[in-house]
Amino acid sequence: MAALSKNEVPPWGLAIAGSTGAVLANALVYPLDIVKTRLQVQIKQHKLDPIVDAHTTNEKHYEGTLHAITSIIEDEGLSGLYSGMAGALLGVASTNFAYFYWYSTVRELYLRRVSGGKVPNTAIELSLGAVAGALAQLFTIPIAVVTTRQQTQPKHDKKGMLATAKEVIHGEDGWTGLWRGMKASLVLVVNPAITYGAYQRLREVLYPGRTVLKAHEAFLLGAMSKSLATIATQPLIVAKVGLQSRPPPARQGKPFKSFMEVMRYIVQKEGPLGLYKGIAPQLLKGLLVQGLLMMTKERMELLFVLLFRYVRKVRKEQLEQLASVAARKIEEAKVATVSAAKKQGNY
């Protein structure tokens, strides 16, 4: 049997493989997503700040990951750890499908028309990832905005996806509110770019010439590459979440206008380390999600390779059968013509 190659799978097949892996991985660790979002949007209250409204998510200040988990369960029950999960998984599926589709497309175009098949260097790999990430964000950021709002809604004010989207639209930004944090999101395309660029580079260094990785090898590479990307981009991640969530009580309903404004506000209230709040669950989530994603993606891609080979084999057999039937009919037609000619004495 010939060696398996991802080049046998079209971009949409790679996109399905990537998005499937992402959905499965995120579903398994979704409570960590809730916790990291809650930790990232909370701002320490100062004595001079207005009294916290009882209907905001800031009614309890979480001291860390474990305290956040126990507090959410205590206040909202176990279901509180899964608030907004449907929207989040929809966002994960759409974002990753778009990302892997565009990434495989632009990479294939680069290999064919620019490099002549030569493997791109790290800088090019990062650039290709950034282009793919930007294209993906343009189409999927509204789902991320709605999901962030759902994850930070207080227990007295839970809403579904459509109701939350209407709340965002009826805010002061109107329809454009669904694209809040767009600039931060475009800057954050460096995160998946670093992740998948590092993954490709580590793969070439640690497993040169290997077209298929074992499950634990793909998991390890995915976890390592995501850790590097998360540490490098955590301040932007915190700022983006701040932009997309409800404003903190101290701002009396006044939303942030830019991610730089969010970062300045956090540094003013909590110091520079405030830009790294929630990094523990963010890292843990990233390690697990990226590891599981790449492990699942590798397996899914192999399944697609086998599926497409099977489909091509079936089509080839069908074409051969059709060709055989056509040839037989032509031969039968010739025989019938000759026979008719003989009967008429013209042969």
For residue range 268-322, list pLDDT tens digits in order.
888 888 888 888 888 888 778 777 777 777 777 777 677 777 777 788 888 888 8
CA–CA separation, 110 vs 120, rounded Å?
8
Q: Which residue segments constitute the domains of the chain, with CATH numbers given? A: 6-309 (1.50.40.10)
pTM given for the model: 0.59
DSSP state of 278: T
pLDDT in 10s for each residue of the chain, 347 residues: 444 455 556 666 767 777 777 788 888 888 888 888 888 888 766 555 554 444 444 457 788 888 889 988 988 888 888 888 888 888 888 877 887 788 878 888 888 888 777 777 767 877 787 788 788 777 788 888 888 888 887 777 788 888 888 888 887 678 888 888 787 777 777 777 788 778 888 888 888 877 778 878 887 887 788 888 888 888 888 888 888 787 777 777 777 888 888 888 888 888 888 888 888 888 888 778 777 777 777 777 777 677 777 777 788 888 888 888 888 888 877 777 777 776 666 55
Residue among 53, 34, 39, 47 at smallest CA distance from 253: 53
Tell me the C-alpha distance between 79 and 176, whole Å.
31
